[in-house]
Amino acid sequence: MTKFEYAPAPESGAVVDLKPSYGLFINGQFVDGTGTSFKTISPATEEVLAEVAEASAADVDAAVKAARAAYTRVWSKLSGADRGKYLFRIARILQERAREFAVLETLDNGKPIKESRDVDVPIAAAHFFYHAGWADKLDYASLGPNPRPHGVVGQIIPWNFPMLMLAWKIAPALATGNTVVLKPAETTPLTALLFAEVCQQADLPPGVVNIVTGAGVTGQAIVDHHSIDKIAFTGSTGVGKAIARAIAGTPKKATLELGGKAANIIFDDAPIDQAVEGIINGIFFNQGHVCCAGSRLLVQESIADEVDRRLKRRLQTLRVGDPLDKNTDVGAINSRAQLDRITSLVAAGEAEGAERWDTGCPLPEKGFWFRPTVFTGVSQTHRIAQEEIFGPVVSVLTFRTPSEAVAKANNTPYGLSAGIWTEKGSRILWMADQMRAGVVWANTFNKFDPTSPFGGYKESGYGREGGRHGLAAYVTTGEGA
Amino acid sequence: MSSTPVDTAVDATARARDLLGVSRLTNSALTAWLHGLPGVDQVGCEARAAALGTRSIKTDSKKWAIDLAISMIDLTTLEGADTPGKVRGLCAKALTPDASDLTAPRPAAVCVYGDMVATARATLGTDSGVNIAAVATAFPSGRASMAVKLADTREAVAAGADEIDMVIDRGAFIAGDYLRVFDEIAEVKKACGSARLKVIMETGELVTYDNVRRASWLSMLAGGDFIKTSTGKVSPAATLPVTVIMLEAVRDWLDLTGEMVGVKPAGGIKTSKDAIKFLVAVNEVAGEAWLDNHWFRFGASSLLNDLLLQRQRMTLGYYSGADYITDDAPSLY
Amino acid sequence: MSRVEVKKTYKLYVGGAFPRSESGRSYEVTDSKGRFLANAALGSRKDARDAVVAARKAQAGWAGATAYNRGQVLYRVAEVMESRKAQFVEEVRAAEGLNPTRAAAAVDAAIDRWVWYAGWSDKFTQVLGGLNPVAGPYFNISAPEPTGVVAVLAPQSSSLLGLVSVVAPVIVSGNTAVVVTSFNRPIPAITLAEALATSDVPGGVVNLVTGNPAEMAPWLASHRDVNAIDLTGVADTDIAWAELERAAANNLKRVRRPLIVDGSAVEPDWTLSPGLNRIESYLETKTVWHPKGK
Per-residue model confidence (pLDDT) at position B2 = 40
Of the listed ranges A114-123, A276-285, A450-459, B10-19, the one predicted with least confidence? B10-19
Type of residue numbered B42: Q
C-alpha span between A164 and A181 (Å, rounded): 16
**CATH code of residue B264:** 3.20.20.70
- Which residues from chain A sit within 8 angstroms of residue C291, using beta carbons? 443-444
Domain A13-258+459-476, architecture per CATH = 3-Layer(aba) Sandwich (3.40)
What percentage of chain A reaches a pLDDT higher than 70?
A: 99
- Give which of B65, B139, B109, B135 is closest to B297, Cα–Cα: B109
Mean pLDDT over B241-257 rounds to 98
Q: Which chain B residues are Cβ-neighbours of C293 within 8 angstroms?
A: 41-43, 46
Which amino acid is present at C248? A
Of the pLDDT bands very low, low, confident and very high (cuts 50, 70, 90), residue B332 is confident
Counted residue by residue, chain C has a size of 294
For residue B309, give the amino acid letter.
Answer: L
Q: Looking at the predicted structure, is the pLDDT value of residue B3 above 50? A: no
Sheet containing strand A373-376, edge to edge, reads: A355-358, A373-376, A393-399, A296-300, A263-266, A417-421, A439-442, C283-291, C138-146, C130-131
Query: Which of A90, A93, A158, A100 lies closest to A130, judged by CA?
Result: A90
pLDDT for the residue numbered B4: 47
What are the CA-CA distances from residue B17 to residues B7, B14, B33, B168, B257 (Å)?
A: 16, 5, 11, 21, 13
Partner residue opposite B57 with nearest CB, options A3, A6, A444: A6
* DSSP for residue A119: I
Q: Mind listing the pLDDT tens digit for each residue in A397-412? A: 999 999 999 999 999 9
Q: What is the per-residue pLDDT for C1?
A: 66
Contact at CB, B43 and C294, closer than 8 angstroms: no
Instruction: Tell me the mean pLDDT in the region B101-124.
Output: 98
Which structural domain range is residue C274 located in? 26-291
Does the residue B166 lie in any domain? yes
Residue C226 contacts residue C150 (beta carbons within 8 Å): yes
**Are A389 and A408 contacting, i.e. CB atoms less than 8 angstroms apart?**
no
**Rg of chain C on CA atoms, in Å:** 19
| CATH number of this structure's domain A263-450, picked from the four choices 3.40.50.970, 3.30.70.20, 1.10.760.10, 3.40.309.10 | 3.40.309.10
Neighbours of A461 (CB within 10 A): 31
* Contact call for residues A279 and A264 (beta carbons, < 8 A): yes
pLDDT at A81 over 60: yes
In chain A, positions 141-180, which contact chain C (CB-CB < 8 Å)? 142, 144-145
Residue C152 CA, distance from chain mean position: 6
SS3 of chain C: the string is: CCCCCCCCCCCCEECCECCCCCCCCEEEEECCCCCEEEEEECCCHHHHHHHHHHHHHHHHHHHHCCHHHHHHHHHHHHHHHHHCHHHHHHHHHHHHCCCHHHHHHHHHHHHHHHHHHHHHCCCHHHHHCEECCCCCCEEEEEEEEECCEEEEECCCCCCCHHHHHHHHHHHCCCCEEEEECCCCCCHHHHHHHHHHHHCCCCCCCEEEECCCHHHHHHHHHHCCCCCEEECHHHCCCCCCHHHHHHHHHHHCCEEECCEEECCEEECCCCCCCCCCHHHHHCEEEEEEEEECCC
Task: Please identify every stretch of chain C with a pLDDT value under 70, giving residue numbers as ranges.
Answer: 1
pLDDT at C7: 84
pLDDT (tens digit per residue) in A418-428: 999 999 999 99
Q: Which tens digits make up the pLDDT trace of A120-141? A: 999 999 999 999 999 999 999 9
Is B276 part of a structural domain of the chain? yes
Q: Tell which phi-psi region holds residue B65, choosing left (phi > 0), alpha (psi between -120 and 50) or beta.
A: alpha
Residues shown for chain A: 481
In terms of DSSP bridges, do strands C264-266 and C259-261 run parallel, antiparallel, or are they unpaired? antiparallel
Mean pLDDT of A424-439: 98
How far is Cα A96 from Cα A433, in angstroms, rounded to an integer?
Answer: 41
Tell me whether residue C105 is in a domain: yes
Q: How confident is the model at residue B43 (pLDDT cuts 50, 70, 90)?
A: very high
**Residue B135: which H helix or E strand, with range?**
strand B131-136
Would you state the pLDDT for residue B1? 39
Calculated CA dihedral for residues A455, A456, A457, A463, nearest 10 degrees: -40
Cβ within 8 Å, pair B40-A271: yes
Counting one residue from chain B and one from chain C, the pairs whose CB atoms sit within 8 A come to 17
Inter-chain touch B41–C293, beta carbons under 8 Å: yes
In chain B, which residue's Cα lies nearest the Cα of C293? B42
End-to-end CA distance of chain B: 39
Contact A471, A138 (CB under 8 A): yes
Q: Does A2 touch chain B (CB under 8 A)?
A: yes
CATH number, domain containing residue C176: 3.40.605.10
Residue B5 confidence (pLDDT) above 50 = no
Residues C15 and C54 sit within 8 Å (Cβ to Cβ): yes
Report which residue type is found at A120: D
Complex prediction ipTM: 0.97
Tell me whether residue C4 is in a domain.
no
Instruction: Tell me whether residue B283 is in a domain.
Output: yes
User: Where is A30: in which H helix or E strand?
Assistant: strand A29-31
Q: Cα separation of A232 and A176, whole Å?
A: 14
First to last CA, chain A: 72
The span from the CA of B149 to the CA of A18, in Å, is 69
Cβ proximity of C176 and C62 under 8 Å: yes
Q: What is the pLDDT of residue B38?
A: 97
Note the pLDDT tens digit of each residue in B139-196.
999 999 999 999 999 999 999 999 999 999 999 999 999 999 999 999 999 999 999 9
CB of A466 within 8 A of CB of A452? yes
**Three-class SS of residue B311?**
helix
- Is B86 marked active-site? no
Q: Which residue of B has its CA nearest to A326?
A: B56
Name the catalytic one among B165, B169, B210, B225. Answer: B165
User: ∠ CA B183-B289-B56 to the nearest 5 degrees?
Assistant: 115
- Structural domain harbouring B216: 8-321
Cβ contact B208–C291 (<8 Å):
no
Beta bridge mates, A462: A256
Q: What is the pLDDT of residue B328?
A: 83
DSSP lists the bridge partners of residue A399 as A300
Nearest-neighbour CA in chain C from A21: distance (Å): 38
Res A455 pLDDT > 70: yes
- Annotated catalytic, B273? no
Task: Extract the runs of DSSP E, i.e. beta strands, from A337-392.
Answer: 355-358, 373-376
In a domain, B126, yes or no: yes
CA B216 to chain centre: 12
Give me the catalytic one of B86, B189, B198, B228: B228
Number of domains into which chain B is organized: 1
Q: Is residue C277 part of a domain?
A: yes
CA distance B46 to C110: 57
Q: Are C177 and C164 in contact (CB under 8 A)?
A: no
d(CA A120, CA A114): 9
pLDDT band at A225 (very low <50, low <70, confident <90, very high): very high
Question: Are C285 and A457 a contacting pair at CB < 8 A?
Answer: no
Chain C residues within 8 A of B44 when measuring between CB atoms: 291
Task: Report the number of distinct structural domains present in chain C.
Answer: 1
In the chain, the amino acid numbered B134 is A
Residues of each domain in chain A carrying CATH 3.40.605.10 = 13-258+459-476
C157 within a domain of the structure (yes/no): yes
Whole-number Å distance between alpha carbons of B165 and B231: 9
Contact residues on chain A for C130, CB-CB shorter than 8 A: 468
CA distance C189 to B207: 65
In whole angstroms, give the CA distance from residue A302 to residue C66: 34
CA-to-CA distance for A309 and A376, rounded, in angstroms?
A: 11
Q: Say which residues have a Cβ less than 8 Å from residue A226's Cβ, sequence separation at least 6.
A: none
**Is C16 within the bounds of a domain?**
no
Cβ atoms of C98 and C88 closer than 8 Å: no
Q: Is A226 exposed, middle or buried (0-12, 13-18, 19+ CB in 10 A)?
A: exposed
Interface test with A, best of B35, B37, B41 (most A CBs within 10 A): B41
Q: What is the pLDDT of residue B330?
A: 81
C133 in contact with B at a CB cutoff of 8 Å? no
For residue B6, pLDDT over 60 is answered with: no
Alpha-carbon distance B234 to A312, whole Å?
A: 37
- Go through A94-128 and write b for each residue having 16 or more CB atoms within 10 A of its CB, e for each that does not: bbebbbbbbbbbbbbbbbbbbbbbebbbbbbbbbb
Better-scored residue on pLDDT, B105 or B7: B105
